[in-house]
Amino acid sequence: MNLALTKTQVGSIFAVTAAFLFSTKAIFIKQAYELSPLVDGTVLMALRMLSALPFFLLLAWLNRAHNKNIAAKDWGILVVAGLIGYYLSSWLDFAGLMYISASLERIILFLYPTLTVIATSFIYKKPLNAYSIFAIALSYGGTVIVMLQEQSNVPHEGNFWLGVSLVFASAISFAAYLLLTPRLIHKFGSWNFSGLALSIACIGMLTHYCIATPNPIGLLAALPSSVIWYGIALGLLVTVLPTILVAQSIARLGAAQTAMIASIGPILTIILATLLLGETLNTIQWFGCALNIIGVLMITLAKKKLS
C-alpha cells in the first residue's frame, strides 16, 4: 500500500497548518495581556520581532545573490513595504486587540482581500463589477453585524471603537503591503524578499520600542517569564513557521488555492477564542461571520479566475 502523499496533499497540509498557527496569534496576544500590566501592544510586538529577527536575517543572507542589479528605487519600495506590512500593520493589530475580542479582530482583518480589490479599482480606474460589489457588501455587512452585536452585548470601557479603528487600519496597511509585493518578489525573488522585508519590519518595530520606552532593557527584564515565552511563541510559531509553510504551500498549490484554504482562519480563531478565552458568539454574530467569509471567498474566487 502506497502511503506517500501527493504534492497537492502536502501543500494542503502546509496551508491548513499555517492557517491554524496564524489563527493562534490573537489568542496568544489576549492571554499575554492578562499576565502583566506592563504588557501592551508595543512591548509584545518587540518580543515577537526580537524572536523572529535572527531567522529573517539569515534568510536574507542566504539569498543575497538575488540583490545584484537592483535599482535604488526598488530598494526604497522594499523598505516602505517592510515597514507598512509586518511593522505598522502588526503594531496596529496588537494595539487594537487591547480593546476588542479576538473573534472580532480576526473578522475585521479578514477583509484585506476586499481592500486590495477596492484599491486596485481606484489605482487602475476600473469600476467594480456587480459581482465584486455584491461580495464586498456581503463581507462588510457581516462584519458590521458582528461588530454591533459585540458593542451592545459586551461591556467595554469606552475604547471599543478605537480598537475597531486600529484593527481596520491594520487591514488597510496589510492590503497596501500586498499591492507592493508582486513587483518586489519579481525583482528580489520570493525568499529573498521575505527575508529582507521582514527583517526591515523587525528592525523598525525594535526601533519604535526603544524610542517609545524610557528604559527598554529594564522593562523586558521586569516582565514575567510567561510573557517572554508568549513573545517567543508569537515570533517563532506565529510568524516564522507559518511564513515558511505558506511559501511551501504556494509552491505546490499556487497562491489562489492557498488563499482559499486560509479562509478557515477566522473560524479557527473563533473556536480557539471560545475554548481558551471564554468568548462567545450569538446566532446573529455567527450569521455575520458567515456573510463575511462568503463575501471574501467570492472575491478570492474572482481573483483566481482572473489569474
Q: How confident is the model at residue 78 (pLDDT cuts 50, 70, 90)?
A: very high
- Per domain, the residue ranges of the chain are 7-306
Q: With 50 as the cut, is the pLDDT of residue 74 above it?
A: yes
Rounded CA-CA distance 172/72 in Å is 26
pTM of model > 0.85 = yes
Q: Which of 274, 264, 263, 255 is nearest to 296 (CA)?
A: 263
Which has more confidence, 180 or 251? 180
Q: pLDDT averaged over the chain?
A: 89
Query: In a 3-state reduction of DSSP, which class is residue 222?
Result: helix
Outline where the chain has alpha helix (H).
7-23, 25-33, 41-62, 72-82, 90-96, 102-109, 112-123, 130-153, 160-188, 190-212, 216-222, 225-235, 241-253, 255-262, 265-272, 283-306
Backbone torsion region of residue 39, taken as left when φ is above 0, otherwise alpha when ψ lies between -120 and 50, otherwise beta: beta
Rounded CA-CA distance 135/290 in Å is 12
Q: How confident is the model at residue 215 (pLDDT cuts 50, 70, 90)?
A: very high
